[in-house]
Amino acid sequence: MATRSQTAAVLLAGALTLAACGSGGTSSQAPAGGGGGRTLVIDTSFDLKTADPGRTYEPTGLVVDKAVYETLLTFDGSDVTKPVPSLAESYELSEDGKTLTLKLKQGATFADGAPVTADDVVFSLTRVRDMKGTPSFLLDGVEVAKTDDTTITLTSKAANPALPYILPNPALGIINSKLAQQHGATTDPQDKAEQWLNSTGAGSGPYTIESFNVSSQVTLKANPKYHGTKPAYDKVVLRNVEAATQKLNVQRGDSQIALNLSGDQVNGMPATLQVKKTASANVLFLLANQDTGVSKVTSNPKFVEAVRKGVDYAGLLELAGEGAAQAPGVIPSQLLGALPAEQAAKRDVEGAKAALAASGLANPSVKLEYPSELTVNGLPFQPFAERIQANLKEVGITVDLQPAPVTTALDNYRNGKEEMGLWYWGPDYPDPSDYLAFLPGKTVGLRAGWKAGAAKEIEAAGEKAATAVGDEARKAAYADLQTKLNASGPFVTLVQPSQNIVTAASVTGLEYHPVWTVDIADLGVK
């Protein structure tokens, strides 16, 4: 996959807690089971720009598009280790990893009753790739062709074993190409269909769009011509509500789901509510800049070793709260190739002091930068930074905390100007290849001043992982890569914060998903 310049900004924006544009308690929507059919109200902090699958990549947009559009492949519940058929009834990756062949399921129809065809698939995927919207990188270098009326072939120049894991992304939802072209859809940047796609649903999914407002509310209604299992709710309302109000609304029954509560906010919830706590796919990490022009301290390998051994991981995990998990490597626990928990780093203060002594640095002082107003799964960065500062003081390292507005901090981070940084990475798609970005010369590697050629053994391990085909070979290759990164790379992985979702007792079937957060069509009612 090509290097992405926008990825960090998109992911960071997805974690910002946004203020509500209207009070959560003013909805006139009927509660679930009401006289006008079952209505589900979901409160969330909007990060939403569009419902156009060729342009969307923000968390709320992915929730919406997962309900409105079907993709060729999907995942079963929260399990992202194996793609399963959706609009495609089967798929096969060639031995060299360059060709993915998919057989289309017969009988699928769009919301207007038109059949889903191979031509719709080719148009939809080509549109995403060539329109150059935010998700276009997902199909960089991938040629899309119709072999016959039921067969689609995706061809990559290099081995691309991640492709089956990329295709479930709702941004790659299949649209009704004939209808969309009547409303300005094209396969180039001149496409004019976004406004129309924001007002309807040109997909084959269980829901269509009834109303769409990027700042306040999105209303979905059940697709009467859906070819699959009819969804449990006739209408779904997603509202933009700040976290504190989300808590109040779900407690008093004004909503049935709250998606953005912190660990502290979900503590003490009434027994009548269900609280799902699970480690998110976000990984918090420290970076130590390897550019001697930025810092002669952090570019010292023994200094990095001292930091790695000096951090109190158990204390950070306690700070993160129930449901969080320590991150043994850059790949989160849900994904293929994640390191086992027993390989997670442990604090070794004496070892840290010895490494610092071996570095030749006397009483080093470093600046630690992080975004001041950013929260990840409800957690602010400040308490983590303060705890790390205290940990490293015990080792003999002075940490000068440098919080900054997210735009300033992001600029320094993306341009490799930070001496030390505290950040996080969430998956663009649930495949370990997304974490090759941490290699020298790649997106995150360069943000740590780690240039291509800086660590030949690690880069060789990365190349082996990138070209490995087959689950077992890939798992072994990515485990080896992370083990080497942990031993001598400039990153110190910390925790996977908890994703906390609160639901009414009536809601069933909710599973947290690292790409689309929640699959509305999977939700039931009791």
Q: Do 328 and 357 sit in the same domain of this protein? A: yes
Q: Which two tokens stand for residue 125?
A: 């995927």
Report the pLDDT value the prediction gives residue 7, as an integer from 0 to 100.
37
Q: Are 351 and 234 in contact (CB under 8 A)?
A: no
Q: Do 358 and 460 sit in the same domain of this protein? A: yes
Q: Do 379 and 302 sit in the same domain of this protein? A: yes
Report the pLDDT value the prediction gives residue 33, as an integer from 0 to 100.
37
Note whether residue 458 is domain-resident: yes
Q: Do 230 and 310 sit in the same domain of this protein? A: no
In order along its 526 residues, the chain shows pLDDT tens digits of: 333 333 333 333 333 333 333 333 333 344 433 335 899 999 998 889 999 999 999 899 999 999 999 999 999 999 999 999 999 999 999 999 999 999 999 999 999 999 999 999 999 999 999 999 999 999 999 999 999 999 999 999 999 999 999 999 999 999 999 999 999 999 999 999 999 999 998 999 999 999 999 999 999 999 999 999 999 999 999 999 998 999 999 999 999 999 988 888 898 899 999 999 999 999 999 999 999 999 999 999 999 999 999 999 999 999 998 899 999 999 999 999 999 999 999 999 999 999 999 999 999 999 999 999 888 887 889 999 999 999 999 999 999 999 999 889 999 999 999 999 999 999 989 999 999 999 999 999 999 999 999 999 999 999 999 999 999 999 999 999 999 999 999 999 999 999 999 999 999 999 999 999 999 999 999 9
d(CA 156, CA 196): 32
Q: Do 407 and 516 sit in the same domain of this protein? A: no
Of 404, 396, 397, 407, the closest CA to residue 422 belongs to 404
Note whether residue 2 is domain-resident: no
Burial of residue 408 (CB within 10 Å: 0-12, 13-18, 19+) is: middle
Report the pLDDT value the prediction gives residue 96, as an integer from 0 to 100.
93
Into how many domains does the chain fold? 2
Note whether residue 1 is domain-resident: no
**Could you say which DSSP state residue 30 is in?**
P
Q: Do 269 and 288 sit in the same domain of this protein? A: no
Report the pLDDT value the prediction gives residue 243, as an integer from 0 to 100.
87
CATH number, domain at 185? Answer: 3.40.190.10
pLDDT digits (tens, 9 = 90+) for 270-289: 999 999 999 999 999 999 99
Q: Do 114 and 226 sit in the same domain of this protein? A: yes
pLDDT digits (tens, 9 = 90+) for 426-467: 998 999 999 999 999 999 999 999 999 999 999 999 999 999
CATH number, domain at 352? Answer: 3.10.105.10
Q: Do 512 and 390 sit in the same domain of this protein? A: no
d(CA 328, CA 347): 13
Report the pLDDT value the prediction gives residue 138, as an integer from 0 to 100.
95
Q: Side-chain half-sphere of 296: how many Cα atoms within 13 Å?
A: 3
Give the structural domain span for 326.
283-496
Contacts of 282 by beta carbon, 8 Å cutoff, 6+ apart: 15, 332, 376, 377, 424, 425, 426, 496, 497
Note whether residue 195 is domain-resident: yes
Q: Do 405 and 331 sit in the same domain of this protein? A: yes
Backbone angles phi, psi at 161, to 5 degrees: -65, -10
CA distances from 525 to 27, 88, 239 (A): 20, 28, 20
Note whether residue 479 is domain-resident: yes
Note whether residue 202 is domain-resident: yes
Report the pLDDT value the prediction gives residue 5, as an integer from 0 to 100.
34
d(CA 259, CA 241): 10
Report the pLDDT value the prediction gives residue 268, as an integer from 0 to 100.
87
Note whether residue 414 is domain-resident: yes
Q: Beta strand pairing status for 235-240 and 495-496?
A: unpaired
Q: Do 113 and 240 sit in the same domain of this protein? A: yes
Q: Do 337 and 393 sit in the same domain of this protein? A: yes
Note whether residue 258 is domain-resident: yes
Q: Do 443 and 505 sit in the same domain of this protein? A: no
